[in-house]
A and B are shown apart, each in its own frame.
Chain A
Amino acid sequence: MSLSRIALWFAAIPIAVHGAETKVHEFRLDNGLKVLIQEDHRAPVAVSQVWYKVGSSYEYGGITGVSHMLEHMMFKGTKKHPAGEFSRIIAANGGSENAFTGQDYTAYFQTLERSRLPVSFELEADRMRNLQLSPTEFSKEQQVVIEERRMRTDDQPHAKMEEHFQAVAFTNSPYQNPVIGWPDDIAGLTVADLNAWYGLWYAPNNATLVVVGDVDPKATFELAKRHFGPLKTSQLPPLKARAEVEQFGQRRMTAKIPAKLPYLVLGYKVPALKTLADPSEAYALEVAAGILDGGNSARFSSRLIRGQQLAASASAGYDLYSRMSTLFTLEGTPVEGKSLAELEAAFYREVAQLRDEPVTADELARVKAQVMASKIYQRDSIFYQAMQLGLAETVGLSWKVVDEYVDRIGQVTPEQIQQVARKYLTEDHSTVAHLDPQPLPEGAQVSDESTGNGGHHVR
């Protein structure tokens, strides 16, 4: 079989992108609620998401995890819809629903057959202002969250190490705290803490409603006005800056954790789109991450996993849509017989090459081709489309950055990538963490009584 007729076609991709044009309808209610609506008529379905500008990066010492705990309690009822009713009504309408909390946002969503959209609006509008926090429900849900933390973090070697890594990398930025909260903080939260947090942040003027699906924008806006319009505006607290202070020299940490394999994380302090005067730097960092880890042809797979056979896994990450300055991270596991030090050295060589040599035209074209194609693939999911709009808006950018994304990536040059690598991927602004695997000890014998003391996070 001959593959000689295969040419490199990436130059042709932009033609296809015209199929990806979308139109977002933007409204604002008198009470400050931002409403974003995007039509997608492929299926008789709509997703509705309510995004609040609050998350772990709004929290301060002693109450970490309060945003996430409040998210759980948002399903525990209002005067009109008592505990359990929200989920029961959505389920009876064939909907799927959930919520999620991040560093910079808390968001609630329902996906429904399009005619059921009013059900979602009514329930979301109700709990935006009328949540009733019951001490009995709270004490049970607090245990659920503590179990969630045990499952996601305490019993997961990588997650446990990454939690400490963030705490070492950031001196004063609230990104130093885990979204789920530190164990004693979760255990110490009270109904009063949650009530105060709810009162501060849950208001139409601190929220964005995003609807994507088989809807008419004008009618949907009218519907939103009917349900959310009567809600009262809040006096929002002024947001403290809390920008990360400058770092003077590399930080290193080791986490000795019972595990089977070693793990390496290397993070560089970098700006986010929101924190930059010149946004092109953020897009250049985004492309730099793509050059290292944008698929199986990118440098990490091609060189570290296949070529040098140093890494069993290796990845690069950058969060363009952070609200505050963030980290450009390189992570990986060395293959058997290679050390964390050897993998770390390989990461430095890759970073040095980004600084010292322009990326090749082919590599850059491949990253751009993937970005353009993925823009179309993402449109296969109404949920993902809504997610992008809600996120951009909530971190204080405009949803318009989502539309600009492909063009801005397309403008990135090899020189810009070199410039951001020189400026930001520097040793003095880096933090390195090694997971040093310890033998898995025998599990300690604990009492089988339900009143036992096995869980040391419990008060």
Chain B
Amino acid sequence: MYAKFFRLSLALCWALACGAAQAVPEIKTWVTTNGARVYFAQTEGLPLVDIRVLFDAGSARDGDKFGLATLTSTLLDSGAADLDADAIAQRLEGVGAVLSTGASRDSASVSLRSLTQPELLRTALAVTKAILLQPRFAEQDFERDKKRTLLAIQQREEGPDDVGGILFFETLYGNHPYAHPKEGNADTVAKLTRDDLVGFFKQHYVARNARVIIVGDLKWSQAEGIADELVGSMPEGNVPPTLAPVEPAPTGKTVRRNFASEQTHVFAGQIGMRMGDPDFFPLYVGNHILGGSGFASRVVKEIREKRGLSYSAYSYFFPFRQSGPFMMGLQTRNDQAAQALEVLQQTLRDFIAKGPTDEELTASKKNITGGYVLKLDSNSKLTEQIASIAFYDLPLDWLNTYIPRVEAVTKADIQRVFQARIHPDALQTIVVGAGQREQ
């Protein structure tokens, strides 16, 4: 199926919640006796529940063992307590439950969706508890999943998009733990051992390092019982040390990689902002106008609508625990890459020099505030938003104060923060495609 406009999955930027006085369910939060913080919101209308357990155990915690956090997360549902992978899957799927594990740069997650009918939910919870507390990390499972990871790492080299994306992060972050891809690299993954995984699990999958999010058609008392069952007997443990702040590169750099593709992929950006940044709203609303709102944005108008240079073109902030990237990008046929990059840079320079127009700011605010209800209109979307609040310790009224804070942003705010923080002449630029001379 082909869509008019390809929105990168990242582009939806799940962390950027919208909120208002209406339709935001109450979020209750408490701490289990062993130190895990729980967030609960009750929803009605469907007999289902979404449960997510998040740990500060993403690839930023790999140390020099790149890929460790991801492989640890991958192995969780391959065997736990007296259940092997088949038994785990059979029990969950037998009650129609869906479980997944995953890691990002900041976090590792175990997510469960289940029906709320008690005997079905009971089975799903028992299996999830085993996965959270007693994963086996069996040698045979470890070897198999390591090999599969190594193949996936090879596959990244098949296309200019993955190659460019990895180069972008490496260039932007240098020696910071955000620099390497979360799957790791071939040489670092090859060296991982089962003991590495067991050690990482023991250190990071602990109560004080956990956030539990429960959203669904349940009562508070039921949610309390679920949290206790899932993490109540987890060791207390400790939170890992604070991640180092990111040092922005003082000067711009362009990295070119020759790749035998039809298109050249261009990424340009710099260090952006972290979750909870005081400039969050002016940066977010400003970027919405610059390149974050599809056809309404300047980047798409200049690159695609006026010139037909690229199918997808965008600019985004990805706030992490520490500063995430500000990133612009496009793809175009090889001989147009220089022209397209120039238009992209010029669009950014103009925006920073002159700021948005009154009409642009009004239109953007209308879009963000008028579309607020769409960001919370399902159980799964609500779970995403609350997970973001929980993991990044955002204030509990985050969703309720969102609209007024968007409304409060002025043209001068946007121009001020963009001029202070975004430097078009110091961008890190990655160009991957046919005819690029390596530098």
A interface residues (Cβ-Cβ under 8 A, vs B): 1-3, 5-10, 12-13, 15-16, 19, 40-45, 68, 71-72, 75, 84, 87-88, 91-96, 98-102, 111-113, 116, 139-148, 150-152, 154-157, 179-180, 258-261, 294-297, 301-302, 305-306, 309, 312-313, 333, 335-336, 362, 365-366, 369-370, 372-374, 376-377, 379-382, 440-455, 458
B435 near A94: Cβ-Cβ < 8 Å:
no
Q: Which residue of B lies closest to A94 (CB)?
A: B370
Tell me the smallest distance from the CB of B149 to a CB of chain A, in Å. Answer: 10
Q: Which residues of A contact B120 (CB under 8 A)?
A: 9, 12-13, 16
CB within 8 Å for A455 and B335 given contacts A140-B308, A335-B148, A366-B94: yes
A13 engages B96 (CB within 8 Å): yes
Q: Is the CB of A6 within 8 A of B338?
A: no
Partner of B123, one of A7, A19, A113: A7
Whether a CB of chain A sits under 8 angstroms from the CB of B126 is yes
* Contact status A448-B338, CB under 8 Å: yes
Known pairs A41-B45, A370-B96; list 20 more (Cβ under 8 Å). A2-B82, A6-B122, A68-B2, A75-B4, A91-B363, A92-B366, A92-B367, A96-B374, A99-B3, A101-B2, A113-B374, A145-B311, A148-B6, A150-B331, A302-B89, A306-B141, A373-B95, A376-B47, A448-B435, A454-B435
Q: Is the CB of B435 within 8 A of A445?
A: yes
Question: With contacts A440-B157, A443-B434, A446-B434 known, is A151 near B311, CB below 8 A?
Answer: yes
* Range, interface on chain B: 35 or more
Cross-chain contact B296 with A19 (CB below 8 angstroms): no
With A and B bound together, what is the CA distance between A452 and B373 in angstroms? 47
The B101-135 residues at the A interface (CB cut-off 8 A) are 113, 115, 117, 119-120, 122-123, 126-127, 129-130, 133-134
Query: A260 is contacted by which of B96, B127, B158 (Cβ under 8 Å)?
Result: B158
Residue of B nearest to A306 (CB): B85
| 5 nearest A-B residue pairs (beta carbon) | A94-B370, A373-B96, A452-B335, A443-B434, A297-B89
The closest CB in chain A to the CB of B90 belongs to A297
Contact B263 A443 (CB under 8 A): no
CA distance A443 to B435 in the complex (A): 6
What are 8 pairs between A and B in contact, CB < 8 Å?
Answer: A8-B91, A41-B45, A75-B4, A95-B374, A98-B4, A335-B151, A453-B335, A454-B335
Contact B371 A96 (CB under 8 A): yes
- Compute how far the CA of A382 lies from the CA of B152 in the bound complex, rounded to whole angstroms: 34
Q: Which residue of the partner chain B has the closest CB to A367?
A: B93
**Pair B333/A10 contact, Cβ less than 8 Å:** no
State the Cβ distance, B266 to closest chain A Cβ, in Å.
Answer: 12
> With the chains together, A381 CA to B86 CA distance in Å?
30
Task: Give the docked Cα–Cα distance between A296 and B79 (Å).
Answer: 12
- Say how far B152's CB is from chain A's closest CB, in angstroms: 8
Q: CA of A382 to CA of B377 in the docked complex: distance in angstroms?
A: 9
Instruction: Considering the complex, give the chain A residue whose CB is closest to the CB of B98.
Output: A377
The answer to whether A448 and B127 touch across the interface, beta carbons within 8 angstroms, is no
Q: Which residues from B are CB-within-8-Å of A152? A: 2
Bound: A297/B95 CA distance, A: 12
Is A380 a contact partner of B378 (Cβ separation < 8 A)?
yes
Q: Decide if B312 touches A151 in the complex (CB within 8 Å).
A: yes
B44 at the interface (CB under 8 A from A): yes
Residues of chain A with a CB closer than 8 A to B4's CB: 71-72, 75, 98-100
Cα distance, A458 to B239, chains bound together (Å): 56
In contact, A9 and B259 (Cβ under 8 angstroms): no
Given the interface contacts A151-B263, A377-B98, does A87 sit within 8 Å of B310 by beta carbon? Answer: no
A178 to chain B, nearest CB (A): 9
User: Which residues of B lie under 8 Å from residue A452 when comparing CB positions?
Assistant: 335-336
Distance of A298 from chain B, by nearest CB (Å): 8
With A and B bound together, what is the CA distance between A293 and B190 in angstroms?
A: 29
A-chain residues with CB within 8 Å of residue B377 when the two chains form the complex = 42-43, 45, 382
Which residues of B have CB within 8 Å of A71? 2, 4
Q: Which residue of B lies closest to A74 (CB)?
A: B4
Given contacts A88-B296, A91-B293, A335-B151, contact A446 B335 (CB under 8 A): yes
B349-366 vs A, CB cutoff 8 Å, 1 = contact: the mask equals 000000000000001001
Chain B interface residues (CB < 8 Å from chain A)? 1-7, 22-23, 43-48, 77, 81-83, 85-86, 88-98, 113, 115, 117, 119-120, 122-123, 126-127, 129-130, 133-134, 141, 144, 147-148, 150-152, 154-155, 157-161, 258-263, 293-296, 304-312, 331-339, 363, 366-374, 376-380, 433-436
Most chain B beta-carbon neighbours within 10 Å: one of A102, A373, A381, A450: A373
Whether A147 contacts B94 by the Cβ 8 Å rule is: no
Least Cβ–Cβ distance between B412 and chain A, in angstroms? 23
A3, B83: Cβ atoms closer than 8 Å = yes
Closest to A154 in B: B262
Please name all residues of chain B whose beta carbon is closer than 8 Å to the beta carbon of A309 when the two chains form the complex. Answer: 144
CB proximity of B263 to chain A, nearest CB, Å: 5
CA of A233 to CA of B23, assembled, Å = 41
Bound CA–CA A68/B337 (angstroms) = 25
Asked if B260 and A443 make an inter-chain contact with CB atoms under 8 angstroms apart, the answer reads yes
Report yes or no: A150 in contact with B339, Cβ–Cβ below 8 A: no
**Minimum C-beta distance from B167 to chain A (A):** 15
How far, in angstroms, from A6 to B85 measured CA to CA in the complex?
16
CB A344 to nearest CB in B, in angstroms, measures 18
Contact present for B94 and A380 (CB under 8 Å): no
**Distance A213 CA – B91 CA, assembled complex (angstroms):** 34
Q: Closest Cβ of chain A: how far from B400's Cβ, in Å?
A: 16
Contact of B151 among A95, A141, A145, A261 (CB under 8 A): A261
Partner of A12, one of B47, B119, B126, B338: B119
Give the distance in Å from the alpha carbon of A442 to the alpha carbon of B261 in the complex: 9
A144 to B141, CA, bound (A): 45
Q: Which of B97, B151, B335, B366 contacts A448 (CB 8 A)?
A: B335
Determine if B157 and A369 form an interchain contact, defined as CB atoms under 8 angstroms apart.
no
Q: Is the CB of B434 within 8 A of A444?
A: yes
Report the nearest B residue to A75, measured CB to CB.
Answer: B4
CA distance A157 to B260 in the complex (A): 12
CB distance from A259 to the nearest CB of B (A): 5
Query: Which of chain B's residues have a CB closer than 8 A to the CB of A312?
Result: 147-148, 151-152
B93 touches A369 (CB 8 A): yes
Q: How far is the CB of A67 from chain B (nearest CB, A)?
A: 9
Residue in A1, A101, A147 whose beta carbon sits within 8 Å of that of B331 in the complex: A147
B86 touches A306 (CB 8 A): yes
A333 to B435, CA, bound (A): 31
Does the CB pair B3–A98 fall under 8 Å?
yes
Task: Identify B89's interface contact among A145, A154, A296, A374, CB under 8 A.
Answer: A296
Complex Cα gap A142–B96 (Å): 45
**Residues of chain B contacted by A45 (CB below 8 angstroms):** 373-374, 377
Contacts of B293 in A (CB 8 A): 91
The reply to whether B373 and A113 form a contact with Cβ atoms under 8 Å apart is yes
- B157 and chain A: residue at smallest CB distance: A260
- Whether A100 pairs with B93 at a CB distance below 8 angstroms is no
Partner pick for A296 among B85, B119, B263, B434, CB 8 A cutoff = B85
Shortest C-beta distance, B285 to chain A (Å), equals 14
Nearest to B297 among chain A residues (CB) is: A91
